[in-house]
A and B are shown apart, each in its own frame.
Chain A
Amino acid sequence: AQSVTQPDIHITVSEGASLELRCNYSYGATPYLFWYVQSPGQGLQLLLKYFSGDTLVQGIKGFEAEFKRSQSSFNLRKPSVHWSDAAEYFCAVAGNYGGATNKLIFGTGTLLAVQP
Chain B
Amino acid sequence: EAQVTQNPRYLITVTGKKLTVTCSQNMNHEYMSWYRQDPGLGLRQIYYSMNVEVTDKGDVPEGYKVSRKEKRNFPLILESPSPNQTSLYFCASRRVLSYEQYFGPGTRLTVT
Chain A residues with a Cβ under 8 A of chain B: 4, 9, 32, 34, 36, 42-46, 49, 51, 90, 94, 100-104, 106-109
Q: A44 CA to B40 CA in the complex, in Å?
A: 16
B104 at interface, CB cutoff 8 A: yes
Q: Chain A CB within 10 Å — which of B35, B58, B90, B100 has the most? A: B100
A101 near B96: Cβ-Cβ < 8 Å = yes
B99 near A109: Cβ-Cβ < 8 Å = no
A108 near B41: Cβ-Cβ < 8 Å = yes
B90 near A43: Cβ-Cβ < 8 Å = yes
B98 at interface, CB cutoff 8 A: yes
B99 near A108: Cβ-Cβ < 8 Å = no
Q: How large is the interface on B (under 10, 10 to 19, 20 to 34, 35 or more residues)?
A: 20 to 34
A103 near B45: Cβ-Cβ < 8 Å = yes
Say whether, besides A101-B96, A102-B97, A102-B99, A109 and B42 are in contact (CB < 8 Å). Answer: yes
* Closest Cβ–Cβ distance, residue A20 to chain B (whole Å): 19
Which residues on the B side are within 8 Å of A109 (C-beta)? Answer: 42
* Closest Cβ–Cβ distance, residue A77 to chain B (whole Å): 21
- Give 25 A-B contacts (CB < 8 Å), ordered by A residue: A4-B42, A9-B40, A34-B99, A34-B100, A36-B103, A42-B105, A45-B103, A46-B100, A49-B100, A51-B99, A90-B42, A90-B43, A94-B99, A100-B48, A100-B58, A101-B97, A102-B94, A102-B96, A102-B98, A104-B43, A104-B45, A106-B42, A106-B44, A107-B42, A108-B42
